[in-house]
Chain A
Amino acid sequence: MTRTVLGYLFTIEWAVYVGGALFMELVWRPLQRHVPPGQTGAMCLAMGRRYRWLALACLALIAGTALAWSAVGGELAPGAGRRSTVPWSTVALGAAWVVLVGLVATMGLLVHPRSHARSHRGQDEGEVRRRRLRAIRLMDVLLRVELAVALMGALVAVWPVPSGPGKAL
């Protein structure tokens, strides 16, 4: 029963994360062409904030579930590291997770606020606008990289590992 619950949670967490990234790329991005620029900015600001927390929560839960799985499977028991070898897919999934956390944190804490920066008194309005455009372009690239890494991560997550939670699917 514990394995069923953990496998279920692992699947749902990846699904919400990957599905959210796909939604942004396949629904929201094309939709922006039909919205006036000022309103796109307001929507992007609101959606970006919510999406950041959703993505970070999913990634945190994915890590928590994987750790719980390792504890249940005995991989985290004292001395387990010496007697078992870690499969390549687990290492790859861990690496993908680290990259995704880095990307979401960079976008949420650095690039997204810059893409909505306003000019203050004494600042060159043109320069602020140029920085904003650079941040928006960077955000576009990072979102696509995030989607690609998330899709790769999902592929690794379903790789058949004798004791891995990806076996759920």
Chain B
Amino acid sequence: MTATWVRVLASYLHLLAVAVYVGGSVAMEFVLGPAQRFVPPAQAQVLGQRAADRFLVLVWGALALFPVSGMLLFFSLSDQHLVTRGELFSTGYGRTLVAMMALWAVLVVNGALITFVFRPRLARRATARGGGAAVAEQVESMQRAAQWVSRLTRVDLVLALVIVLFGASMAYGGGIL
């Protein structure tokens, strides 16, 4: 009975993490993004930054929840025997699990790049110090950062979809790889 409850809780938390990550990214990209065209550009930029700030908190929460709920789910399903005795790379289940964890690590790295490298560049205020050339350089750096954030966000969404596919394959077919 307890095992069932743990499994339900783990599954639910896992689904919520997927929902926040995938559903939130879809809403950010396809609902909020296009709607920003309906407000003045300066306001849209502030809005985008504030939305991204809030959404990043949820993203990090989801990224932290993935391994915790995943481990809980893994042990509640008593799947340990599928990856023990050196079978981590010799079974489809084991390989899929390793690939899933590797992709999760990529999501964490991309998240860190967005949070700690590109977003601070975007949030930096342009100053007139250094003359026109310096201002142009600052603007160019901000545009590059914005492009990188956009690219990485899309890559992350695709990776998250692949991770869910791996998860579904582990639940039904013993892994896809």
Contacts and interface: CB of A to CB of B under 8 A. Distances in A.
B168 A4 contact: yes
A24 B27 CA distance: 8
B171 to A, nearest CB: 5
Contact of A155 (B12, B22, B28, B165): B12
A125 B173 CA distance: 62
Contacts of B161: 12
Interface SS, A side: helix
A87 B35 CA distance: 42
A34 B54 CA distance: 13
Nearest to A169: B11
A168 interface: yes
Interface stretch (A46-54, A75-83, A105-113): A46-54
A167 B19 CA distance: 16
B22 A15 contact: yes
Interface stretch (B44-52, B78-86, B105-113, B131-139): B44-52
Contact of B55 (A27, A158, A160): A27
B98 interface: no
Interface of B: 4, 7-8, 11-12, 14-16, 18-28, 30-32, 34-40, 43, 46-47, 50-51, 54-55, 58, 73, 161, 164-165, 167-169, 171-173, 176
Given A11-B18, A167-B172, 15 more contacts: A4-B168, A4-B176, A7-B168, A11-B167, A17-B23, A23-B31, A26-B58, A27-B58, A31-B47, A42-B39, A43-B39, A46-B35, A54-B31, A155-B12, A159-B8
